[in-house]
Amino acid sequence: MSFQQALSGLNAAGKNLDVIGNNVANANTVGFKAARAEFADVYASTVLGTYSNNIGIGTKLNSVTQMFTQGAISVTSNPFDVAISGEGFFRMDNAGSIVYSRNGQFHLDANGYVVNANGLRLTGYVADANGNINAAQPQPLRLTVSSIEARGTSEVTQGSVLDSRADAIDRTVKPFNPEDSTTYTHATSIAVYDSLGNTHTLSTFYVKREPGQWEVYTALNGKVTNTDTDGDGLPNGAPLVFDASGKIDLAASNNGVFQVNVDAATLGTGATGLSINYNMASTSQTGQAFSNELQRQDGYTSGRLTSFTIDENGILKANYSNQQSRAQGQITLVSFVNPQGLVSAGSNNFLETILSGGPRIGVPGSSNFGTVTSGALEDANVDLTGELVNMITAQRVYQANAQTIKTQDSLMQTLVNMR
């Protein structure tokens, strides 16, 4: 009789509805991955084997498989919300044990750790005090909210285009004077900082002496920093020699680098003196008006923390009021050869198993790992329309198996009533 087959069918349809119902229930769960019930037929067998005319004895639930397809990305206003686009899982520290998740709803706890709603800590590569990422063993990411200290300028890079058409200036007739514009050909300036973060103006003056030969003078806050090297009582400019193509002759120009030294007394701020490596190797000479193509320095004043950002490579940066930013860590992602082999641990977390294979650790955007987006979340990959259709199908299957039992009962009643 076919009661066994029908009962297994009812059970299978019920299990299928359970899976579908769980998918629907988690349609709004961030990072949720829909599951699929997979069934197998069942046949009776004997020691001697089976026969070609054997009739199956029903069905069984073979497995419930997670579908790790990409969910849609939704934008949020929280910079600590992180969505993964592509392959990978967040690696979460649960009091020393490791779990994996696609749910990127993070925030800072009272100790500065990046955690999820359950207090699990997001892991990654930590950075040193200078913002250098240490790509060793992943650790729980902890952000500091302290201010950044001032840094005195030690490097200045200046890349100017000098006008080769300018008239030469005779040093013996018009010795350099920063207050007399007729004693220099071009001038520019840049803000530099002392060790206390005070701003100073470093001016650069270019003086054409003869075709292809220039001198460079600098002045800090209007005071010339060049020294008298020939004993005539006047400061000497650093030489700048150009070849016929307009490029600087590094051999004849001290590699385009000279030192600017200012003592503490000249600064007058209580800061230590400045020793600046002034690089002008990218300066050139052409038949066009003077311009600055490159100008930068490495100093800054102190700054307070204003915000945190996370880039597509998972680097967490602290941004400060002095326009500086500094890496404080980098999110790591984990991939598996067989993600379907992971086992669900609840709360949107998964555990590795023998079937999943061991974790492979990397950073967003590298190898086969996906990228991450800050201020966004990955929605559940549940297709509600498809799930509703599946629900109707499962209902019809349940009704059909119930009808099989009803029919079989009718047949048995006929046998019972025979005289």
Helix (H, G, I), strand (E, B) or coil at 13: helix
Label residue 293 exposed, middle or buried (CB < 10 Å: 0-12, 13-18, 19+). exposed
Give 409 or 354, the one with higher predicted confidence: 354
Torsional class of 94: left (φ above 0), alpha (ψ -120 to 50), beta (otherwise)? beta
- Would the pLDDT of 272 be above 70? yes
**pLDDT digit string (tens) for 224-241?**
999 888 888 888 999 999
Mean pLDDT estimate for the chain: 92
pLDDT-derived band at 99 (thresholds 50, 70, 90) equals very high
Phi then psi for residue 368, to 5 deg, are -100, 10
pLDDT-derived band at 343 (thresholds 50, 70, 90) equals very high
Alpha carbons 92 and 309: distance in angstroms, whole number:
20
The crossing angle, in degrees rounded to 10, of helices 3-25 and 384-416 is 160
Closest CA to 186 of 147, 215, 212: 215
- The per-residue pLDDT for 46 is 55
Closest CA to 141 of 317, 347, 2: 317
Alpha carbons 309 and 316: distance in angstroms, whole number:
6
Tokens of 205: 């003056």
- The per-residue pLDDT for 108 is 94
Alpha carbons 382 and 32: distance in angstroms, whole number:
8
- The per-residue pLDDT for 139 is 95
- The per-residue pLDDT for 419 is 65
- The per-residue pLDDT for 83 is 97
Alpha carbons 21 and 10: distance in angstroms, whole number:
16
- Would the pLDDT of 52 be above 90? no
- The per-residue pLDDT for 148 is 92
Annotate 353-386 with three-state secondary structure. CCCCCCCEEECCCCCCCCEEEECEEECCCCCHHH
Q: Give Cβ neighbours of residue 298 (< 8 Å, ≥ 6 apart).
A: 151, 153, 154, 155
- The per-residue pLDDT for 410 is 83
Looking at residue 42, its amino acid is V
**pLDDT digit string (tens) for 151-197?**
999 999 999 999 999 999 999 899 999 999 999 999 999 999 999 99
**pLDDT digit string (tens) for 287-311?**
999 999 999 999 999 999 999 999 9
- Would the pLDDT of 359 be above 60? yes
Closest CA to 204 of 223, 191, 189, 192: 189
Beta strands in 81-198 (DSSP E): 82-85, 89-94, 97-101, 107-108, 114-115, 121-127, 133-140, 155-163, 186-193
Q: What percent of the chain has pLDDT over 90?
A: 79
- The per-residue pLDDT for 47 is 54
Helix (H, G, I), strand (E, B) or coil at 177: coil
- Would the pLDDT of 84 be above 70? yes
Alpha carbons 349 and 92: distance in angstroms, whole number:
9
Alpha carbons 176 and 205: distance in angstroms, whole number:
9
Scanning 215-291, the segments in alpha helix (DSSP H) are 264-267
Tokens of 45: 């067998």
